[in-house]
Amino acid sequence: MAKAKDPVCGMMVDTEKAPAKGVYDGQTVYFCNPGCQKTYEARRKPK
Ligand SMILES: [Zn+2]
């Protein structure tokens, strides 16, 4: 099983069971929950 680090909160996430993930600049990023993904996206694209 592969694990990836949630870039928002630093938690290790199982890539096969990640509650949320997205592809940014061709790289898949995994999150522990959809809220962290939203935070990540908000940081990437500040309004
Ligand atoms: Zn998280």
Question: In this structure, what CATH number is given to the domain that contains residue 29?
Answer: 2.30.170
CA 26 to ligand 1 center in whole angstroms? 20
Q: How confident is the model at residue 22 (pLDDT cuts 50, 70, 90)?
A: very high
CA 20 to ligand 1 center in whole angstroms? 9
CA 45 to ligand 1 center in whole angstroms? 18
pLDDT above 70: percentage of residues in the chain: 94
Query: Residue 2: what pLDDT?
Result: 95
Q: 13 by DSSP, 3-state: which?
A: strand
Domain boundaries, position 9: 3-44
Pairing of strands 12-14, 3-5: antiparallel
Q: 26 by DSSP, 3-state: which?
A: coil
Alpha-carbon span 4 to 46, nearest angstrom = 24
**Number of structural domains the chain divides into:** 1
Partners of residue 13 on adjacent β-strands? 4
pTM above 0.85, yes or no: yes
CA 36 to ligand 1 center in whole angstroms? 5
CA 18 to ligand 1 center in whole angstroms? 10
